[in-house]
């Protein structure tokens, strides 16, 4: 992978200097996983940060036989940083939702380069603060109607990971259980709302290809209260 592609694909790397990018590419390891495979397991000690080259994953927490999806991540995002920064076991699993390709950078090289490149260090802090702001927004929306909350989730996925196409922003057809979890509404509500949005022509659900097209993005943003 060229350094220009590396920088463009991953927002985390967008401000890193060229020398940093070249060095990271020499130490990064490629991984591929099929859908349903556990990428990282809860309680495992953090030994690397992972970058999503392609595909979709979910971050989940498991308690006994129950599990709940906490976040959906797609191309360009990263995970695993919390465990390597505080040197503690992971508190969540990461599961591949689709076939996924990742790059991993081991803990020691990654910590080393954070100290060597202040711009990369600062960018990582910015993105982590952005995640905290997203969590705060979810907390503020807990009393909002289910349709508003689901529209907000779809818009966020489209803004962060959506691929532009002739049919609208293209995102993965996330299982409704996981979509319901991250939106904090019921699975039945999620199913009904998604079907209603499909009927209205705001989204187009292509189950055969595991894709959802966000056709009328402006209307979804209006519903989500983001305009």
139-155: per-residue pLDDT in tens? 888 899 999 999 999 99
> Tokens at residue 214, please?
């966000």
Taking only the tens place, the pLDDT of each residue in 9-42 is: 999 999 999 999 999 999 999 999 999 999 987 6
Q: At which of 84, 111, 139 does a domain end?
A: 139
pTM given for the model: 0.92
Number of domains in the chain: 2
Helices 146-161 and 217-224 cross at an angle (nearest 10°) of 130
Q: Does 198 share its domain with 86?
A: no
- 3 state DSSP class of 173: coil
Query: Are residues 95 and 128 located together in one domain of the fold?
Result: yes
Residues 14 and 116 in one domain: yes
How far is residue 4's CA from residue 22's CA, in Å, rounded to a whole number?
10
């Amino acid at each position: 992978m060229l350094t220009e592609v590396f920088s463009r694909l991953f927002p985390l790397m967008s401000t890193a200097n060229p020398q940093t990018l070249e060095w990271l590419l020499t130490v990064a390891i490629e991984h591929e996983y099929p859908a349903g495979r556990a990428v990282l397991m809860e309680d495992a000690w953090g030994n690397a940060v992972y970058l999503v080259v392609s595909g979709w994953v979910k971050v989940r927490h498991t308690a006994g036989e129950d599990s709940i999806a906490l976040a959906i991540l797609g191309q360009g995002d990263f995970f695993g940083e919390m465990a390597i920064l505080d040197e503690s076991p992971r508190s969540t699993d990461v599961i591949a939702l689709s076939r996924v390709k990742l790059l991993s950078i081991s803990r020691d090289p990654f910590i080393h380069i954070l100290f060597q490149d202040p711009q990369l260090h600062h960018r990582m802090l910015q993105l982590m603060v952005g995640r905290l702001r997203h969590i705060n927004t979810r907390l503020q929306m807990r009393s909002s109607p289910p349709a508003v909350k689901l529209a907000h989730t779809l818009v966020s996925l489209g803004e962060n990971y959506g691929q532009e196409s002739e049919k609208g922003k293209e995102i993965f057809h996330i299982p409704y259980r996981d979509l319901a979890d991250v939106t904090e509404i019921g699975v039945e509500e999620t199913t009904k709302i998604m079907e209603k949005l499909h009927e209205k022509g705001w989204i187009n659900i292509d189950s055969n290809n595991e894709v959802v097209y966000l056709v009328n993005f402006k209307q979804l943003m209006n519903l989500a209260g983001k305009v």
